[in-house]
Amino acid sequence: MRPFHEKPAPKPCRPLKLRSPPEATPTLIETKPAPQSSAGASSDSPRKRLSYVPHLDGLRGIAILLVMAFHFTQGVRLQNPFTGAAVDMASGLFIGVDVFFVISGFLITRILLATNLTKRAYLVFTMRRVLRIFPPYWFYLIACLALLPALRQYSARDYLNDHWLWFFTYTNNIRIALEGWPASYLSHLWSLAIEEQFYLIWPIVLVLLAFFRSWLPFLVLAVLGPPLARFILAETGANPLALYVLLPTRLDPLAIGALIAFCESRGLMRHCHKAMKLLAIPAGIFMVVYLVERSLSGVSVFSMPARVAGQHFATGLLSGVLITAGITRAGVVKDLFTRTWIVKVGKVSYSLYLWHFAVNATFRNTDLHPQAFGRADLPVEVYLLVYLVLAGLISYLIAIVSWKYFEEPVLRLKRFFPSPAGRPA
């Protein structure tokens, strides 16, 4: 037995065969954790370094265009059977919100999985989310309080004055479920409340999943449970508005995104993409039939509970396959969603979502909105097209100004809360 301090003689080294490294995935850069020293390594050192995924900005761009088309054509009725059917079909484009949910579920889970979930890491994650989400949202609410009287929107101003706490705490979706839609200028903010509630709860859920080491059964339940719950509750006569605006019954798109992130973190992205492609076939058929059904008055293929259950779930699956396709391979999906114009729209999609609704609500109270066809000298369809372009451009310009002169300066404060996961998408 040799003394404790004596080191063993080194063994002779054998030459190693060098192999070419495996093909790296385009979006996830593996790094080894920093070695533990006697003093202990940083508790929030990264397990993986994340790189930017540009096609997700393109997907955000498509999502916000769907939502804008839904809001800008809401309440418009055309006599021509073809253009009228197209406008009626646009009444189903609220599914763009589900596309946002899938992207959020994927990105947030991806960031959290790349970080050791310590108290400090959770604080950093929360502060970075706060800097991204709170300032533009609160600025919009304060602008509404200041500008609504000038626009003679006294009912909306009074509603916000009376219920400001629900909006500033991201709980207005709960009030909607209890009392109905709020006044104009404010009724689109429920989806941001769902996302913020998800951001607060999801890190805790991931810590519990890591403790029990049973992430797959839980995520499958989170994906399949909400549509099943929506179907049962709608069948039994539950409040459809509550099913639409509450987190537990809208969790499935967020969970689909989270499931994709888990598969990516475990090197299962290609298998995930194959599964998503198979599921996307019935989901795509459902959505085509669903949108055609909305365009044909008097035609009802699906029952109301089936529509309530399926529309968000199917959109989530289709969005999921677009995410996995853009990550696993270069092809038409990546080419389409990385085009410069759609990526630029996606980068300001948050501001666009906030302000396009205000633009539309302002026009709705004037003769410039397509509902006021009495003074239009142009054909109705041309007038509607002009309005879509005009309202879209005004919304985009406001979003660009908000991004350049307000959001970007605020986001520079993120340097005080560096993310150990690197640059997210």
pLDDT > 90: percent of the chain: 58
More confident residue, 407 or 375: 407
In the chain, the amino acid numbered 380 is: V
Helix (H, G, I), strand (E, B) or coil at 50: strand
Say if 29 falls within a structural domain. no
pLDDT > 70: percent of the chain: 83
d(CA 167, CA 186): 9
Residues 274 and 302: beta-carbon distance below 8 Å: no
Output phi, psi for 29, to 5 deg: -105, 110
More confident residue, 118 or 281: 281
d(CA 100, CA 190): 13
In sequence order, the 6+-apart residues with CB closer than 8 A to the CB of 353 are 64, 67, 100, 188, 192
pTM for this model (two decimals) = 0.86
* Segment 56-104, tens digit of pLDDT: 999 999 999 999 999 999 888 888 888 888 898 998 999 999 999 999 9
- Length, in residues, of the chain: 425
Helical H segments across 246-376, by residue range: 251-265, 269-295, 304-328, 332-337, 340-347, 349-364
What pLDDT does residue 181 have? 94
What pLDDT does residue 394 have? 96
Q: Using 50, 70 and 90 to split pLDDT, how confident is the model at 45?
A: very low
Cα radius of gyration rounded to whole Å, the chain: 24
What pLDDT does residue 21 have? 39
What pLDDT does residue 19 have? 41
d(CA 92, CA 170): 25
Q: Which two tokens stand for residue 104?
A: 């959020």
More confident residue, 36 or 95: 95
Highest-pLDDT range among 273-277, 332-336, 368-372: 273-277
Q: What average pLDDT does the structure give for the chain?
A: 84
DSSP H or E segment with residue 48: strand 48-50
Q: Using 50, 70 and 90 to split pLDDT, how confident is the model at 341?
A: very high
More confident residue, 213 or 388: 388
Residues 264 and 27: beta-carbon distance below 8 Å: yes
Q: Using 50, 70 and 90 to split pLDDT, how confident is the model at 422?
A: low
Q: Which two tokens stand for residue 135?
A: 């300032």
Residues 26 and 327: beta-carbon distance below 8 Å: yes
- Whether 34 has a pLDDT exceeding 80, the answer reads no
d(CA 331, CA 115): 30
Say if 27 falls within a structural domain. no
* Segment 186-195, tens digit of pLDDT: 999 999 999 9
Q: Using 50, 70 and 90 to split pLDDT, how confident is the model at 229?
A: very high
Q: Bridge-partner residues for 422, per DSSP?
A: 50
Say if 24 falls within a structural domain. no
Say if 155 falls within a structural domain. yes
What pLDDT does residue 174 have? 97
Query: What per-residue string of b and e applies to 228-242 under the rule 16 or more CB within 10 Å gives b?
Result: ebbbebbeeebeebb
Domain count, the chain: 1
Say if 33 falls within a structural domain. no
Segment 396-410 mean pLDDT:
95
What pLDDT does residue 146 have? 92
What pLDDT does residue 372 have? 58
- Whether 30 has a pLDDT exceeding 70, the answer reads no
What pLDDT does residue 66 have? 96
User: Positive or negative CA dihedral for 163, 67, 251, 331?
Assistant: negative
Q: Which of 71, 25, 35 is nearest to 395 (CA)?
A: 71
Lowest-pLDDT range, 18-32, 387-401, 404-418? 18-32
Say if 425 falls within a structural domain. no
Say which residue the tokens 């989310």 belong to: 129
- Whether 375 has a pLDDT exceeding 60, the answer reads no
Q: Using 50, 70 and 90 to split pLDDT, how confident is the model at 393?
A: very high
d(CA 397, CA 83): 28
| 32 HSE (CA, 13 A, CB side) | 3
Domain coverage including residue 392: 50-413
192 burial type by CB count under 10 A (0-12 exposed, 13-18 middle, 19+ buried): buried
Say if 424 falls within a structural domain. no
d(CA 416, CA 419): 9
What pLDDT does residue 39 have? 36
d(CA 322, CA 231): 26
Residues 102 and 254: beta-carbon distance below 8 Å: yes
Identify how many contiguous H helices and E strands the chain contains and give both numbers: 18, 2
What pLDDT does residue 371 have? 61
d(CA 128, CA 111): 11
Pairing of strands 48-50, 28-30: antiparallel
Say if 103 falls within a structural domain. yes
